[in-house]
Structure 1
């Protein structure tokens, strides 16, 4: 299988490297910035380009891995005579943005990936969707060569997956920052929380979140909750977040 990589960022880099390591050919790497395309192309023994009109038309797969906002512009400027399967890697962009092409789909990893950090794609469940059953089968079998947990997922399911990933990953990280700010204000080190953060992450690997919920809201301990809210009076925005999450937990477990 030979592929063209359109993009040189985090997901593009990991997919290109992993496909190449698995024995697939990376024919071209495109980036608006030629130096970025060159850097990735050097790693996967590929040609680099920064002109969409120079993209080959006979590859088997075209991976469009750019920011969501850049997908429409790139798509509009790609040659519509591409016969291979063209896919984007977005969790929130509808597959049909590619419907001017004959064969198209989505390969979405619900994972925060950094191109400078080693990541085993075989541990990530890629969501696969395509415009035909044949293309879906081809994509699934291909991606399973590098990510064995890959699965079929329609656009609505993918959006739900992306939203859930944002809540579980991005929102939890924002809560870590709030915790750090509170500790910093009290001249305490964020390192003190790392054991409990790790313990929570480990628990959810083997148990449902609803069975591992603890804390004053889970117990409906209003005395402690009031003390927390009094303390948070110096942090108005954080206090609102605490109150919303506390109310959610109480309503869920104390109907």
Structure 2
């Protein structure tokens, strides 16, 4: 396929490089910052532009891989009669944002991706949504070559997946940082928790998370919980988070 990549960030970089490695031609890279477009295009042996009016009109696939806030702006500046399939890569944006085009869809990677960290996209599930059966067939055939875990879904299912991913990834990482800060304040290394974090992640690969839950909230250990609350009393934000998560775990115990 001849592909135009719109974006030069984390997902745009990793997805374009992966598709290029499969033999697809990345015809053009767009970024509002010319230097960023040039840097990515150089890796992909592609042309580049920072002007949407000069976007190629003969590509098979246009991948809009930008922040959710930027999708509408880019779509509004693209011509309605682009001949190829136009997709975005957002987990939370409806495919309907692309409905001015004849053939459109979504390819959403259910993974946190950074362009400066090596990642194997063939191990990542990709959620595919399409405007029609023919478009779905083309997207599935090509994305299955990249990742065997590619699957079709609706916008509602994709939003559910994205929301769940925020809980599993973004929120858990924020909690790791709180743990890090607590330990640093008491001259203890974060390395002390890394084996526990890895063991927890390992357990949920083969078990329902609630079935391997541990800790004072699950045990109903009010004495320990009170000690933790007193310890956190000088940081109201962390105290609030601890209370809310304790209530959530306790509710699981009561079910």
What is the TM-score with the length of structure 2 in the denominator?
A: 0.98
Report the Cα offset of residue 81 of structure 1. 1.1
Q: Distance in 1 between matches of 2:15 and 2:179?
A: 34
Question: Where does residue 238 of structure 1 map in the other structure?
Answer: 238
Question: Where does residue 227 of structure 2 map in the other structure?
Answer: 227
Q: Distance in 1 between matches of 2:51 and 2:232?
A: 54
Q: Distance in 2 between matches of 1:81 and 1:217?
A: 57
Within a 5 Å distance, the mapping from 1:92-241 to structure 2 comes to 92-241=92-241
Report the Cα offset of residue 177 of structure 1. 1.1
Instruction: Give the unaligned 5+ runs of structure 1.
Output: none
**Secondary structure at 1:108 match in 2:** strand
Q: Distance in 2 between matches of 1:225 and 1:128?
A: 44
Question: Where does residue 253 of structure 2 map in the other structure?
Answer: 253
**Secondary structure at 2:237 match in 1:** helix
Q: Distance in 2 between matches of 1:31 and 1:206?
A: 41
**Secondary structure at 1:113 match in 2:** coil
Report the Cα offset of residue 59 of structure 1. 0.8
Question: Where does residue 64 of structure 2 map in the other structure?
Answer: 64
Report the Cα offset of residue 111 of structure 1. 1.0
Number of residue equivalences: 255
What is the TM-score with the length of structure 1 in the denominator?
A: 0.98
Question: Where does residue 49 of structure 2 map in the other structure?
Answer: 49
Q: Distance in 2 between matches of 1:79 and 1:254?
A: 56
Within a 5 Å distance, the mapping from 1:3-18 to structure 2 comes to 3-18=3-18
Q: Distance in 2 between matches of 1:55 and 1:143?
A: 23
Report the Cα offset of residue 254 of structure 1. 2.1
Q: Distance in 2 between matches of 1:34 and 1:229?
A: 51
